[in-house]
Amino acid sequence: MSTMVIDGKPASARSGATLEIHDPATGELVDTVPQAGVEETRQAIDAAHAAFRGWADTPPQKRAQILMKGAGLARQHIDEVASLLTREQGKPLRDSKIEAERFVENIEYYAMLSASGAIRGKHVQLSVPGAFGLVVRRPIGVVGAIIPWNFPLTLLANKIAPALAMGNTVVAKPASTTPLSTIRLVELMNQGGLPPGVLNVVVGPGAVVGQEMIKNPKVRKIGFTGETQTGKQVMAEAASDLKHVTLELGGSDPAIVCDDADIEQASKAIAIGRFFNAGQACLAVKRVFVHEAVFDQVIEKVAARAKRLKVLPGADPSSQMGPMHTAGGRETIEGQLKDALDRGARLLAGGNRLKGEPFDRGYFFEPTVITEVPPDARVWREETFGPLLPIARVKSLDEAIERANDSEFGLGSSVFTRDIKKAQQTIDRLDVGYAWINQVNLVAYDELPFGGTKHSGFGKEHGIEVLDFYTEEKSVVMGGV
């Protein structure tokens, strides 16, 4: 049985409660983990609080060395971690390896950024003679990192990398269905030399563990990725203690294909962007708007790619798309599809559960493409968190932008065009936090800030800008020295 990590040591639940982790492809039991309660969560928070001052006072270069050593150990165990991730989450093994590598790269990026001296304060000339001002950055304190199940490693790194590099300490709470790969990486990071209590991991329900992290006054920052409604609750409850928050929430990302686009490139990118990780990604392409001049070509090519995808258990080397993560997630997608078809939508590809061996024991669903979907269908209004893609015909770029913006979400977007003026028009007018031009909206780069608008989030991850959300600025007046 895997264990939690509290104060640098393996930890179990005093109650003896455990959680079973099952393979979404087979239903088989993978492992069990302790189920934390309030007591274990407080123990982890207390350990992080006690370790904070020593870690904050550690020179940035020394912190970077420790983080780099931990990242190096994680890199040596990429295959092990990836195997755990595939078994608990369901995604193809090659995608799990990419995710584990991205975890390492993210840690290394912020470690190097911290050590390079790129993180600086400010010198301010004051109007008072004989005095000058400084603006210095200081870490916030204990960070509670609440991580979802769809990309548990990259989304963990998004929070702990800048937090630790800047001198904060962390209590991480992975999703109860995907804790194994997170626990292993936290163990490796601790083996790299992190002082006890600097990085902890506890596993348990959000209503218990997450609530304690949000309510406990020793936690000064919450980094949360998850559903929009849950994020609103996190923000409201954290406000009572004036905690810092970063919220990376849901998305319904549009892709626009203009009449002058490279149709082959656009169709390939849209298919990858929709069906990667079985469509279970906040940044997945979820709504497509295609100019009528190229509409028939695009739907034919996207549907053909959907039909060619090899849907198999993630552990199969030839798998291109694994199962959905839960039975409930599959049922939600089926409900959204039925709603669209009942309203007159046309099915172009997929639409069914896969049956027979090796599918019957898992949560498999075909890559699905639909068109002629009425505007009041659920797939346009809700986030479709699975392999279901609606494609609409539009008469102009203006119409495409208007429909793309007609959503409560504003996370990412993709636009395919050879015309720089059209690209600039979409950049200026799309209500999103991230835009890709002639590329798939799949990867959020470490070098660029990432975050949504409207109901897609609050604050930024990635880029040097993320450091604003893991530090506080202190103004200093120097005089008479």
Compute CA distances 144 → 12, 53, 117, 122, 207, whole Å. Answer: 19, 17, 26, 28, 14
DSSP structural state of residue 207: I
| Among 40, 99, 248, 366, the one annotated catalytic | 248
Question: Helices H, strands E: what count in the chain?
Answer: 14, 22
Is 402 tagged catalytic?
no
Handedness of CA 442, 445, 448, 449 (dihedral sign): positive
Q: 119-155 burial, b for 16+ CB within 10 Å, e for fewer?
A: beeeeeeeeeeeeeeeeebebbbbbbbbbbbbbbbbb
DSSP structural state of residue 195: P
* Residue 158, phi-psi category: left (phi > 0), alpha (psi -120 to 50), beta (remainder): alpha
Is 282 tagged catalytic?
yes
Alpha helices in 20-148 (DSSP H): 38-57, 60-76, 78-89, 93-115
| Among 88, 282, 366, 382, the one annotated catalytic | 282
Q: Are 379 and 336 in contact (CB under 8 A)?
A: yes
Query: What token pair was written down for 179?
Result: 């804790």
Active site (catalytic) residues:
248, 282
